[in-house]
Amino acid sequence: MIDRQASSTLLGRLYTQSYKITNQVLKQFEPDNLDLSSTLNSINVHPGAIFDEISELESLSLLIYKRLTELASHLDPMYCIPVLIEIFSGLYGQDEKYEGNTAFVGSKVLISFIWTGTYSGNLGRSRSYKDIVEGIKMAMLFLKIEQAKNVWKLVGEGQVEIREDGVFATESLAIHIHHFNRLGPNEYKVLKDATDQLWFHPENIYKVEKILTGKVRNGDRLFGDTFLSEIPFTETNFWTALYCKLRIYIIIGKERSLVAGKQLTGLCLLTEKALLINEKSGNFLNLANQLNFWEPTWHNNAINGTPNEIKRMIIHRPVIGVYNPQSVFATSIPLLWDSVNFLLEDFVHSRAGNKIYERFFSGPFEKATINLFEQYGFKGGEVNDKSIWRTKIPEKLLSPDRIPGQIDILAVSEEYHVIVIADCKMVHFPFELNAARNILAKFGSADDERFFRKLNMKTDWLSTCSNFKLEEYVVVKMLITNLDIPLSKDEDRLVLSIREVEEKLLKKLKKSGDDY
């Protein structure tokens, strides 16, 4: 452990250097300023090169990975990792300003490669902003090629051209890539509750502490009317992980405020002393280590994983030792935000159960979608299993037949003579290839989950209701999702995200509804 005076000198030097280099680096990623010429030349790829075979792209990906590893090995972890965290944290929430989000994510990926030097015996010495820029560009190229390669495999065809200002694909491939790029900003379903209960009220960590120490009773709703109150107290692993991350979050907030006042979102450097807090549960650093801190065995396994696993390393463990021995750690509040959000999201999708999911996620999503239609003059509501159309004034739908299942949304516009029959599906779109294939099979022409077959049955049933004469309307059947799914539009199997639905409603359905 370094003493206070030495650590203060070292931390001050690291902060000053990080701010200075960050500004130099960001200038290279401003709009219309990206140039990958030197990056391509370093791997002997000429700008304008076209790849017609997936095997060629595989070989290129391997070449880029090796070059990225080499570039990272020359960078000094103690100075370069804080710079990259400052870049990521400074761009948090505004990354579209800088070449999409690839520079944003590229910074996180480069950190993972640089850290190898802290335990491999090959510690880099470069602190040059130009070398950092080249590393980020190579990481960006790595991510772009990996994405193009996986989408190519997903759709079964493609062609890729690499130019000085980025990677270009054939039109069909580019459309799918565009959809994938939309997923990031809309991924977290848990964001509102996390913001209200945790980020704005970090003192709620003491509620988590009560859970872990058994000072709660069954039925206590510690987090109000949010999904956090529904998570069983017996989920000890979850509450322990949340507690550790929140404790670090509070420490970062205090330390960062001493450095930058109210500017809390940038780089935060911590000494081991700042993290050693005596608590009833024991040494906090030991408690949190396996959940949040990078260590060689974990890192060596993760860096040899898939590109998506590499991207998530800093989300899983947001605190990185940069001084050897690990006496100085680098992190930031945005890293903790992402880490906690990912923890909550993972719980929602893996262990929350249908009751929590329906009440706090799929149910509100259906209501939000109905409200959207109502904003544009539709009469809308769900049709329950008793054939009650639950609009503002509920109405019984009269049919000689039994309804084949609840209709999530029945929306009628008399002005445009349009009837929308829709089921809502919340999806967690995976980034791994096989999981993505499964999602596309569910929503595509294969109809593996029989979504469209069920929707057709409901439409047929509606045609028997005396409340409507469907032949007098343009009837639109669709599945509405929370995220864009990269599918070609098929009028018989229409899948639109709520964002796409709103875009169409903004066009006022033209005049006839034919373009809906």
pLDDT digits (tens, 9 = 90+) for 33-81: 778 888 999 999 998 899 999 999 999 999 999 999 999 999 999 999 9
Of the listed ranges 258-267, 425-434, 493-502, the one predicted with least confidence: 425-434
Phi and psi (nearest 5°) for 167? -105, 130
Mean pLDDT in residue range 146-166: 84
| Number of domains making up the chain | 3
316, 375: one domain: no
Higher pLDDT, 510 or 212: 212
* Domain carrying residue 369: 357-506
Residue 191 has pLDDT above 90, yes or no: no
Mark which of 282, 317, 351 sits at the end of a domain: 351
DSSP state of 75: B
CA dihedral 197, 199, 203, 204 (to 10 degrees): 30
The answer to whether residue 513 is domain-embedded is no
Instruction: Classify 282 as helix, strand or coil.
Output: strand
154, 48: one domain: yes
pLDDT score at 273:
78
Please tell me the distance from the alpha carbon of residue 421 to that of residue 176, in angstroms, as a whole number.
Answer: 26
Could you report how far apart the first and last alpha carbons of the chain are, in Å?
65
**pLDDT confidence band for 135 (50 / 70 / 90):** very high
Query: Residue 245's CB: how many other CB atoms inside 10 A?
Result: 24
371, 487: one domain: yes
Instruction: Tell me the per-residue pLDDT of 353-384, one tens digit each, with 9 for 90 and over.
Output: 888 888 888 899 999 999 999 999 999 999 99
CB 86 within 8 A of CB 19: yes
Task: Output the domain CATH number for residue 372.
Answer: 3.40.91
Please tell me the distance from the alpha carbon of residue 10 to that of residue 14, in angstroms, as a whole number.
Answer: 6
309, 363: one domain: no
Mark which of 311, 329, 351 sits at the end of a domain: 351
Higher pLDDT, 153 or 395: 395
Mean pLDDT in residue range 464-480: 91
Residue 510 has pLDDT above 60, yes or no: no
Mark which of 135, 167, 186 sits at the end of a domain: 186
Please tell me the distance from the alpha carbon of residue 512 to that of residue 474, in angstroms, as a whole number.
Answer: 8
Please tell me the distance from the alpha carbon of residue 293 to that of residue 314, in angstroms, as a whole number.
Answer: 9
DSSP string, 112-130: HHHTTHHHHS----B--HH
Residue 314 has pLDDT above 70, yes or no: yes
pLDDT score at 192:
77
149, 215: one domain: no
The answer to whether residue 512 is domain-embedded is no
